[in-house]
């Protein structure tokens, strides 16, 4: 069967971030294979501060010869419920490897704010843009607040975030991206019904192991991208083991990569439809994501929520696509 499918138009909302970087690399490999079109990258403060996430996004684009793609500077959240995650991702957000990457050609001081880019692109391509959100939802909420109804112009919004039947990773109940700004998550959840949510329930099984990085490196050991992948995997593995994130298995969790699996390899995931909400005022549970599992009729669902993932097939696609990236 010959299917002529249009390439998805994508905006990547990200706070690189070690696992963000691997998702970013996966996306760029798919763009290089002409399977996707990356319209813009909107950086967000989260794993590290806004200037570092902007710089890291620019460096990753530069490393892969995508320096012409605009990067937005993140909307600053003045009050933060939780701290940055530099203790996981390194002081620079990239395992303290940012200095090994090319210097960015874009200036943080002169960059447009991410919410303005989101509004512009969603207005220009109504119903066409897939937003991939790997970070706190600050930019998306800011865009919706500034231009009410703008999020409904997205084809879909793919969110790595939340925890439903498992413990949180920054509090007993909450996952980092949602806990960083529960108010922002509430705005997004309440103003779109085209959400795809990929929570810790599925990402906790996505352990990227050293032998996977080695398989990628065998294709082109001298590539700058190869060297970065190897070094970042090693750095992330060390911190993941020290924080007991992988049950003692050598490797690290590539939470954010699951968003690309949903979009390009949907057979690796199973979902249920639900009305997802977030706790914003609880004393012990701010940032907790919930949906009603009781067996009765439900209306006004806003999201597809991932329930299961085939990690073996996901990683088979992930590794093979990254191999194509280092060949260039």
Asked about 194 being catalytic, the answer comes back as no
Q: Are 317 and 262 in contact (CB under 8 A)?
A: no
Q: Are 181 and 189 in contact (CB under 8 A)?
A: no
Residue identified by tokens 């949602």 is 178
- Calpha distance 255→205 (Å, rounded): 9
Residues in a beta bridge with 156: 130
Given the residues 87, 194, 255, 296, select the one marked as catalytic.
255
Cβ atoms within 10 Å, residue 84: 20
Active-site residue set: 255
């Amino acid at each position: 069967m010959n299917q002529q499918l249009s390439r998805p138009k994508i905006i990547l909302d990200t706070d690189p971030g070690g696992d963000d970087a691997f998702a970013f690399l996966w996306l760029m490999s798919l763009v290089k294979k002409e399977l996707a079109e990356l319209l813009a990258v909107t950086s967000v403060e989260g794993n590290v501060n806004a200037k570092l996430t902007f710089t890291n996004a620019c460096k990753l684009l530069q490393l892969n010869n995508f320096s012409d793609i605009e990067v937005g500077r993140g909307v600053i959240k003045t009050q933060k419920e939780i701290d940055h995650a530099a203790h996981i991702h390194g002081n620079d957000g990239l395992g303290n490897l940012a200095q090994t990457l090319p210097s960015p050609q874009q200036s943080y001081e002169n960059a447009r704010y991410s919410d303005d880019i989101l509004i512009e692109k969603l207005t220009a391509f109504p119903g066409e843009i897939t937003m991939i959100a790997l970070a706190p939802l600050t930019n998306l909420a800011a865009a919706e607040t500034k231009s009410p109804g703008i999020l409904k112009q997205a084809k879909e919004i793919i969110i790595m975030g939340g925890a439903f039947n498992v413990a949180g990773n920054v509090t007993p109940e909450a996952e980092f991206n949602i806990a960083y700004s529960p108010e922002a998550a509430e705005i997004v959840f309440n103003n779109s019904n085209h959400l795809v949510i990929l929570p810790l329930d599925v990402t906790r099984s996505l352990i990227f192991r050293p032998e996977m990085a080695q398989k990628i490196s065998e294709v082109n050991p001298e590539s700058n991208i190869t060297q970065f992948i190897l070094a970042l995997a090693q750095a992330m593995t060390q911190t993941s083991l020290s924080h007991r994130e992988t049950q003692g298995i050598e490797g690290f969790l590539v939470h954010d990569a699951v968003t690309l699996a949903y979009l390009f390899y949907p057979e690796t995931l199973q979902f249920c439809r639900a009305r997802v909400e977030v706790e914003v005022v609880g004393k012990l549970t701010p940032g907790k994501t919930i949906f009603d599992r009781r067996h009765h009729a439900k209306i006004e669902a806003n999201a597809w929520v991932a329930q299961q993932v085939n990690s073996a097939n996901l990683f088979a696609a992930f590794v093979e696509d990254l191999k194509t990236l280092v060949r260039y």
